[in-house]
Amino acid sequence: MLVGAYMLSPHVHSLRLSNSAHSVCCVLPLVLLLQYLCFRMNLIITNIPLRQRQATIDINIFEAMSSSTITQFQPNGHQTSIMKWQNSSIINDFGKKYYVCPTFIGRLGNNMFQYAASYGIAFDNGKRLLIAKQSLIATYFQVDANMTEDALQQCSTFPVYTSPNWGIYNPPFSDGILKNDNIRTEGYFQSYKYFLQVKESIKKQFLSFKGRTKALNILDKIRKKFSVKEEMTNFSLIGVHIRRGDKVYANNRLAPKEYFIQAMGYFTSKYENPVFVVSSEDIKWARNAVPSYYNAVFLSQSSTPDIDLAILSMCDHIIISVGSYGWWAAYLNRGEVVYYKSWIISGSDLDKDFKHEDYYPPEWIPM
Interval 280-330: pLDDT, tens: 988 899 999 998 889 999 998 777 889 999 999 999 999 999 999 999 999
Say which amino acid occupies 280. Answer: S
Q: Are residues 178 and 133 in the same domain?
A: yes
Mean pLDDT of 34-38: 51
CA gap 359, 367 in Å, rounded = 15
**Amino acid 338: pLDDT:** 98
Count of domains for the chain: 3
Measured from the Cβ of residue 16, the count of other Cβ atoms closer than 10 Å reads 15
Q: Are residues 104 and 34 in the same domain?
A: no
Query: Is 90 a residue whose pLDDT tops 70?
Result: no
**Amino acid 246: pLDDT:** 56
Mean pLDDT of 60-67: 27
Contact indicator for 285, 279 with CB cutoff of 8 Å: no
Query: Is 176 a residue whose pLDDT tops 80?
Result: no
Q: What is the pTM of this model?
A: 0.72
Q: Are residues 202 and 340 in the same domain?
A: no
CA proximity to 325, closest of 111, 139, 103: 111
**Amino acid 162: pLDDT:** 87
Q: Which of 94-108, 236-250, 319-333 comes out lowest in average pLDDT?
A: 236-250
Query: Is 23 a residue whose pLDDT tops 70?
Result: no
CA gap 45, 24 in Å, rounded = 32
CA gap 46, 48 in Å, rounded = 5
Q: Are residues 193 and 217 in the same domain?
A: no
5 pLDDT band, cuts 50/70/90, is: very low
**Torsion (CA) 160, 188, 332, 98 in degrees, nearest 10:** 0
Q: Are residues 191 and 220 in the same domain?
A: no
Domain that holds residue 286: 212-366
57 pLDDT band, cuts 50/70/90, is: very low
Does 15 map to a domain?
yes
Mean pLDDT of 224-253: 76
